[in-house]
Amino acid sequence: MTSHTHGRRPTLEDVARRAGVSKSTVSRVINGEPKVRAEVVEQVRQVVAELGYVPNQAARQLVTRRTGAVAVVASQPQNRLFLDPFFDCLLRGVRRELAEHGSQAVLLFLDDPDDYTGVADYLAGGHVDGAALFSLRPGDRLHEMADRLDIPVVFGGRPLLRDGDTVRAHAYVDGDNRGGARQAVQHLVALGRTRIATITGPYDQEHSAAERLAGYRDVLPGAEPELTERADYTEQGGAQAMAALLDRRPALDAVFAASDLMATGALRTLRERGRRVPHDVAVVGFDDLTEITESTDPPLTTVHQDVERMGRLMARLLFDQDARPPSVVVPTRLVRRQSA
Amino acid sequence: MTSHTHGRRPTLEDVARRAGVSKSTVSRVINGEPKVRAEVVEQVRQVVAELGYVPNQAARQLVTRRTGAVAVVASQPQNRLFLDPFFDCLLRGVRRELAEHGSQAVLLFLDDPDDYTGVADYLAGGHVDGAALFSLRPGDRLHEMADRLDIPVVFGGRPLLRDGDTVRAHAYVDGDNRGGARQAVQHLVALGRTRIATITGPYDQEHSAAERLAGYRDVLPGAEPELTERADYTEQGGAQAMAALLDRRPALDAVFAASDLMATGALRTLRERGRRVPHDVAVVGFDDLTEITESTDPPLTTVHQDVERMGRLMARLLFDQDARPPSVVVPTRLVRRQSA
C-alpha cells in the first residue's frame, strides 16, 4: 500500500525484485527458516519494512471472486484421501461454507512429487480465488507452494517447518489434538486404571499424531516406553499394535488409541484375545467419526472433534477480511460411551 | 470451417444465433429430443448444414492445452463418490492418462441441483481444457451442461436421454454391461443351475443396472418375475435382496448379483441362512474390484471390467484428434473363482 508498488498491496514478488533475491529466499526469510546468510536476511527484512509487505496470505481476501472457485489440495494419494472419513467430513464443511458465499470447491490431487508442478501452476494461473491446503507433514512442500501464491491460502492442520516451528505466513485451522489426548488419558486415570497404553499415529511424520502422543505424555510423564506402540491410523495397524502391546504387557488395563479406526482394530484384537472391554481393558479413541463409532462393540468412548465446523472455518478464513487472529484451534471434548 | 464463421470451426452458439433460436433449442434438435416444433427442427437443420456444424464435442480436440487441466464431474453426492471403488479406479485411470499428456484432473462436485450452475459456469469459464463427465441417469442434467460447452467432452457411461435413446453429440466410454451379464448367467446355466435369481441395481434410474438386467433376461427370457429383486448397488441392499429372494423361492440354486458389493451382501445372507456356496447356491458378481473380490468367502466368480483402462480411454478420447468412432464399449470377461 505504498508508492513503491503504485497503490497495490505489495507482493512477495515485489519484495524479491527489490531485494534482488529469489522469491523462495524471501519466503525462507519470512518463515524464519535456517540456511539463509545473515546479510540476506537483513536485506530482505529491510525491504519488507520499506514496502509494508504483509506476509499473511489471508490478509489478501477474496474480495473479488472472479472464478467462483476455491482449490482444495491434500498431500495424500487419491485412494487414501477417498477412504479417509475425516477428510470427507472436512471437505463437506469447506464446501457448505463456500456454497453460502456463492463459491465452490475444485479438488486437485497430489499423489506423487511429479504432481506438484502442475498443481502449483494451476493455483497460480488465475483459475481459483483461494486455496484450502491440507498439510500432514512438517516441511511439507505445500508450504513452499503456498508462499508463492498471490491468492488467499488457509491450511487445514497447523503448517510446520521441518524443525517443528509453525509457519507464520499462513492462516490455519487445527483441532486441539494435545488437549483432546489429555482429556482421554485423564478419563482413564479417573477410572482408576494404572497401566494405560497408547497406540499412536505416525508421530515421526504427522503433526496430529505427535500432538496426541504429547497429550498422553503430559498426563503420564513416567509411562514405560513399552506401553507405547506406533501404528499408522488404520484399523489393521491398530489391531496389530494392540497385539504387540498385549504380548509385551499382558496386564495392561487401558489403551488410548489416537484414532477411532485404530481403536476399532484394538477392540477386535482384545475380543480375539478374550479380554472384556471395558471390564479388563478400557478403550478410548479419537475423532468421533459417526460412521465408525456408531458400529463398534461396545460403543466407543472417544474424543470429539467438530470436523465439519473445522472445514467451515477454513472456508470462512478465506473470506473474512478482518479475521484476527487468522488461525483457529478448535476445542475437543470427551464423549463417554461404554468402552471406557 | 466456412466463411460464415470466419475460418473458425462453427459452434453451437453460431448455429443458435443464425437460426434465431436458443442454444438449448439447437441442442434439443441435434439430440433428437421431442417437443420442438417441426418448422424449428427444419430451420436448425438447415443452418447446421449451411455452417458445416459438427455436433461432436470430441471433434474439437485439446490441441492447445491452455490450462493444463481437465474437469472431472460426477452426478453423485461427495460421500457416495468417495466410497465408490469403481469411481476411485476410473478416476485413477483418467488421471494417469492425463499425466502422460502433461495435464491433470480437477474434481468438481454435484451434490444437489444448486451446484449445477456453479459447475457449468466454471466449465464454461476457460479454467479447464476439457471435461470428463460421469452420468448415471437417463435425462441427466450433465448432458444439457455438456451441450453448452465449447471444450471437448467425454462421458463415462453411455449418456442417455429420458426416452432411453443415446445422446449422439458426445463421445463416451462404457463397459459392456449387457454382454457381461449374459456371460455370468450363461455360466450358471452351463453349471446345470435351473432356478437362477438376479439381484439388480436401480434399473429404473441407472443405465448400467438396466443393461445388466437385460443381459439376464437375454439368457433367461422366461424367468419368473419372483426371481428378480431390485437393490441399490450396496452390500446392505444385496443382503436384504438375497433374504427376500430366499423367502419367496427357497429352492433357488443360483444368483447373479449385478455388482460385487451386492454379491458380498448376498454371500452374508446365504451364510446366515445355512446355504453352502456354491454347493447349494452358486453366486456370480459384477465388476471384479480387487478390494472386494480378494476378501469374499468363498472367492467370488464375477464379471471383470477393466475400469482403469476405461478411465484411460476417456482421457485419450479428449486428446485424440482422429478418434473414430468417438465412443468405445469396453469388453467384459468372466473370471471364475469358487463361488460359481
Q: Show Cβ contacts of residue B33 under 8 Å, excluding neighbours closer than 6 positions.
A: B161
Q: How far apart are CA A238 and CA A234, in angstroms?
A: 6
pLDDT digits (tens, 9 = 90+) for B295-329: 888 999 999 999 999 999 999 988 775 554 567 78
Burial of residue B64 (CB within 10 Å: 0-12, 13-18, 19+) is exposed
Provide the pLDDT for residue B161: 66
Chain A hits for B122, Cβ within 8 Å: 67-69, 104, 106
Summarize the confidence of residues A281-299 as an average pLDDT: 88
N- to C-terminal Cα distance for chain A?
Answer: 57
Q: Where are the domains of chain B?
A: 3-55, 59-175+308-331, 177-305
> Which tops the pLDDT comparison, B292 or B313?
B313
Q: State how far residue B123 is from chain A, nearest Cα, in angstroms.
A: 10
Q: Show Cβ contacts of residue B279 under 8 Å, excluding neighbours closer than 6 positions.
A: none
Q: How far apart are CA B209 and CA B232, in angstroms?
A: 9
CB pairs under 8 A between A and B: 83
Q: Show Cβ contacts of residue B159 under 8 Å, excluding neighbours closer than 6 positions.
A: B133, B135, B140, B142, B143, B146, B166, B167, B170, B172
Q: State how far residue B119 is from chain A, nearest Cα, in angstroms.
A: 8
- Using 50, 70 and 90 to split pLDDT, how confident is the model at A188? very high
- Using 50, 70 and 90 to split pLDDT, how confident is the model at B75? confident
Handedness of CA A72, A73, A77, A81 (dihedral sign): negative
Q: How far apart are CA A38 and CA A26, in angstroms?
A: 13
Beta carbons of B99 and A121 less than 8 Å apart: no
Provide the pLDDT for residue A291: 75
Instruction: Tell me the CATH number for domain A59-175+308-330.
Output: 3.40.50.2300
Q: How far apart are CA B223 and CA B203, in angstroms?
A: 17
Beta carbons of B79 and A95 less than 8 Å apart: no
Judged by average pLDDT, the poorest of A172-181, B28-37, B214-223 is: B28-37
A297 pLDDT more than 90: no
Q: Which of B170, B238, B243, B174 is nearest to B206 (CA)?
A: B174
CATH class, domain B59-175+308-331, is alpha beta
Judged by average pLDDT, the poorest of A75-79, A97-101, A217-221, B200-204 is: A75-79
Beta carbons of A82 and B83 less than 8 Å apart: yes
Provide the pLDDT for residue A4: 46
A321 pLDDT more than 70: no
Q: A3-55 has which fold?
A: 434 Repressor (Amino-terminal Domain) (1.10.260)
The matching CATH number, chosen from 3.30.1490.110, 3.40.630.30, 3.30.10.20, 3.40.50.2300, for B177-305 is: 3.40.50.2300
- Using 50, 70 and 90 to split pLDDT, how confident is the model at B237? very high
pLDDT digits (tens, 9 = 90+) for A198-227: 999 999 888 899 999 999 999 999 999 999
Assigned C-alpha cell, B340: 460359481
Q: What is residue B285's three-state secondary structure?
A: strand
Beta carbons of A95 and B111 less than 8 Å apart: yes
Provide the pLDDT for residue A269: 97
- Using 50, 70 and 90 to split pLDDT, how confident is the model at B167? low
- Using 50, 70 and 90 to split pLDDT, how confident is the model at B57? very low
> Which tops the pLDDT comparison, B287 or B30?
B287
Ranges of H-type helices in A109-173: 115-124, 141-147
Q: State how far residue A179 is from chain B, nearest Cα, in angstroms.
A: 29
Query: Cβ distance A213 to A273 under 8 Å?
Result: no
Q: State how far residue B19 is from chain A, nearest Cα, in angstroms.
A: 31
Half-sphere CA count of B96, side-chain side, radius 13 A? 14
Chain B hits for A118, Cβ within 8 Å: 68-69, 102-104
Half-sphere CA count of A286, side-chain side, radius 13 A? 33
Query: Quick one: closest CA in A to B128, which residue?
Result: A127
Of B68, B91, B107, the CB nearest to A121: B68
Phi, psi of A137, rounded to the nearest 5 degrees: -115, 140
The mean of the pLDDT values for chain B is: 85
Strand partners, A333: A304
| Cα dihedral A312→B110→B73→A111 (10° resolution) | 30
Q: Could you identify the residue written with the cell 464399449?
A: B329
Q: How far apart are CA A10 and CA B6, in angstroms?
A: 43
Beta carbons of A118 and B103 less than 8 Å apart: yes
Q: How far apart are CA A251 and CA A247, in angstroms?
A: 10
Q: Show Cβ contacts of residue B329 under 8 Å, excluding neighbours closer than 6 positions.
A: B173, B174, B175, B176
- Using 50, 70 and 90 to split pLDDT, how confident is the model at B140? confident
Q: What is residue A257's three-state secondary structure?
A: strand
Of A68, A88, A119, the CB nearest to B104: A119
- Using 50, 70 and 90 to split pLDDT, how confident is the model at B92? very high
Judged by average pLDDT, the poorest of A272-281, B104-113, B223-232 is: B104-113
A45 pLDDT more than 80: no
N- to C-terminal Cα distance for chain B?
Answer: 57
Of A79, A106, A119, the CB nearest to B108: A106
Provide the pLDDT for residue B327: 76
Beta carbons of A127 and B69 less than 8 Å apart: yes
A147 pLDDT more than 50: yes
A64 pLDDT more than 50: no
Provide the pLDDT for residue B34: 65
- Using 50, 70 and 90 to split pLDDT, how confident is the model at A58? very low
**Which 8-state DSSP code applies to residue A251?**
T
Angstrom CA distances, B170 to A277, B27, B131, B216, B306, stand at 58, 11, 11, 28, 22
Provide the pLDDT for residue B195: 97
Q: Catalogue the E-assigned strands of B168-233.
A: 171-175, 196-200, 228-230
> Which tops the pLDDT comparison, A93 or B11?
A93
Q: How far apart are CA B146 and CA B132, in angstroms?
A: 10
A108 pLDDT more than 60: yes
Chain A hits for B119, Cβ within 8 Å: 104
- Using 50, 70 and 90 to split pLDDT, how confident is the model at A327? confident
Assigned C-alpha cell, B221: 427370457
Of B82, B99, B119, the CB nearest to A104: B119
- Using 50, 70 and 90 to split pLDDT, how confident is the model at A76? confident
Chain B hits for A94, Cβ within 8 Å: none
B158 pLDDT more than 60: yes
- Give the DSSP H or E segment for B16: helix B12-19
Of B82, B92, B107, the CB nearest to A88: B82
* High-pLDDT (> 90) share of chain B, %: 47
Assigned C-alpha cell, B47: 443452418
Beta carbons of B114 and A107 less than 8 Å apart: no
Q: Which of B146, B124, B184, B140 is nearest to B58 (CA)?
A: B146
A1 pLDDT more than 50: no
Summarize the confidence of residues A55-66 as an average pLDDT: 46
Beta carbons of A109 and B105 less than 8 Å apart: yes
Q: What is the CA angle B326-B329-B332, rounded to 5?
A: 160
Summarize the confidence of residues A174-189 as an average pLDDT: 95
B282 pLDDT more than 90: yes
Q: Show Cβ contacts of residue B173 under 8 Å, excluding neighbours closer than 6 positions.
A: B154, B155, B156, B310, B313, B314, B317, B327, B328, B329, B330
Provide the pLDDT for residue A54: 61
Summarize the confidence of residues A290-294 as an average pLDDT: 78
Summarize the confidence of residues A61-81 as an average pLDDT: 78
Beta carbons of B83 and A79 less than 8 Å apart: no
Half-sphere CA count of A306, side-chain side, radius 13 A? 12
Phi, psi of A64, rounded to the nearest 5 degrees: -105, 115
CATH topology identical between B3-55 and B177-305? no
Angle, to 10 degrees, between the axis of helix B260-272 and the axis of helix B235-248? Answer: 50
Q: Show Cβ contacts of residue B205 under 8 Å, excluding neighbours closer than 6 positions.
A: B136, B137
Q: What is the CA angle A79-A84-A90, rounded to 5?
A: 125
Chain B hits for A291, Cβ within 8 Å: none
Q: State how far residue B327 is from chain A, nearest Cα, in angstroms.
A: 27
Summarize the confidence of residues B226-234 as an average pLDDT: 95
Cα–chain center distance at B328: 12
